[in-house]
Amino acid sequence: MAKEYDIIIVGGGPAGLTAAIYSARARLKTLIIEKAVPGGQIATTGLVENYPGFPDGVMGGELSQLMADQAKKFDTETISAEVLSLEVRDNERVIHTSEGDYSAKAVILAGGADPTKLGIPGENEFTGKGVSYCATCDGPFFINKVVAVIGGGDSAVDEGMFLTRFASKVIVIHRRDQLRATKIIQERAFANPKMEFIWDTVVEAIEGNEVVQRLQLKNVKTQERRTLEVGGVFVYVGLRPNTDFLKSILALSPDGHILVNEQMETAIPGIFAAGDIRVNAARQAVSAAGDGATAALAAEKYLSQVGH
Ligand code: NAP
């Protein structure tokens, strides 16, 4: 027998935790299912300077802990489990997880996104041995080492700057000759003497012995190849939504994001999506929180319509 709730929220990042705060304050029995610790991507981010209400910025870990505390204060229940599948039965939505089954009339999918992998030789082999996707988690292991960061977006440049606290030099390797990152982040990076940039270049392979020692690079304009000696490499080439388990039941965009309308409703009544998992998300903590609130309000309305 599945354990019953009014609303089940899959994912405990800013979208899921905000949805939980709204849902629990509406006196709906709310469960958050989170595969790791609550917080989402923001929990592994350094200083967050663009979340309103924190004029001096706030550390990502602290911000997510505050959100989790706030959700808990309103009696939201949280379990740690991996979601395996979602089943739609008349008015009931059943979530099958690694820890058993849970059912509710409304479900909010807020499972966010995971880092995209490069898919090059050596990447999987050296993950945890010099290849990392989280500067906040692994930066302190690279004291006085030369590290590379791959990517040209906000994450690559922001996290590269964070790594200059530990590394002797941070080399950003970008496939174009212009960064995608926000201008203020670019200005700070260009002014930082520990930051260097290699333009128009892709990494073809990550090599080493026990740990990462070098990268094989190719300039995409000149086709010239060369080797770069590094002590570690941080990959920040975008995010992939966690929607594999939904492919057979929900409409997804070509790159796997859930299609929703302005109320965060999917094509299936009673199933909503919020944050980085949905199509056209701004992919910011604050917009994810906004999505969470919208989805919870829409779910509350749906529950009253189906006679909850
Ligand atoms: P992103 O904005 O999608 O940037 C990904 C970067 O990786 C791009 O520069 C892209 O190159 C490059 N890239 C993609 N695939 C590649 C490949 N196979 N090989 C080499 N390079 C590749 O991802 P993100 O930086 O993780 O940011 C995700 C979202 O979070 C964004 O909306 C961002 O604004 C937000 N964010 C905001 C902040 C902040 O506000 N402080 C901090 C972190 C993240 P091209 O430029 O050529 O496409």
Q: Which domains can be identified in the chain, with CATH numbers?
A: 3-114+239-305 (3.50.50.60), 117-235 (3.50.50.60)
Ligand 1 atom having least distance to the Cα of 202? 20
Q: d(Cα 85, Cα 238) in Å, to the nearest integer?
A: 25
Q: By C-alpha distance, which of 238, 286, 274, 282 is closest to 50?
A: 286
Are 134 and 235 within 8 A, CB to CB?
A: no
Atom of ligand 1 nearest to the CA of 180: 46
Distance 154 CA to ligand 1 centre (A): 6
* Structure confidence by residue, pLDDT tens digits, 202-240: 999 999 999 999 999 999 999 999 999 999 999 999 999
Which of 33-37, 68-72, 97-101 is least confident?
33-37
Based on the residue annotation, tell me whether 244 is a catalytic residue of this protein: no
Whose Cα sits closest to atom 15 in ligand 1?
Answer: 237
| Cα within 13 Å of Cα(187), Cβ side | 3
Residue 31 CA to ligand 1 center (angstroms) comes to 32
pLDDT at 80 over 90: yes
3-state secondary structure of 156: helix
Percent of the chain with pLDDT over 90: 92
In this prediction, residue 225 carries a pLDDT of 98
H/E element, 282: none
Q: What is the pTM of this model?
A: 0.86
How many whole angstroms from 104 Cα to the centroid of ligand 1?
35
- Would you place residue 17 in the very low, low, confident or very high pLDDT band (cuts 50, 70, 90)? very high
Check residue 38 and give its pLDDT.
83
* Cα 5 to ligand 1 centre (Å): 37
- Centre of ligand 1 to C-alpha 24, Å, is 34
| Count, residues in the chain | 308
The pair of three-digit structure tokens given for residue 215, joined into one six-digit string: 């990268």
Pocket around ligand 1 at a 6 A CB cut-off: 50, 118, 150-156, 158, 175-176, 180, 182, 202, 236-239, 283
The residue whose C-alpha atom lies closest to atom 28 belonging to ligand 1 is 238
> Is 121 in a helix, a strand, or coil?
coil
pLDDT tens digits along 121-168: 999 999 999 999 999 889 999 999 999 999 999 999 999 999 999 999
6 in active site: no
Nearest-atom number in ligand 1 for the CA of 118 is 18
What pLDDT is recorded for position 152?
98
pLDDT digits (tens, 9 = 90+) for 33-49: 999 888 888 998 888 99
Distance CA 44, CA 39 (A): 8
Assess whether 101 carries a catalytic annotation: no
Strands (E), the chain: 3-10, 30-34, 47-48, 58-59, 77-80, 83-89, 92-97, 100-109, 113-115, 131-132, 146-150, 169-173, 195-198, 201-208, 212-219, 225-229, 232-235, 239-241, 271-273
Q: Which residue from 154, 239, 291 has its CB within 8 A of the most atoms of ligand 1, so it is best to mutate?
A: 154
Q: Which of the residues 69, 75, 137, 255 is marked catalytic?
A: 137
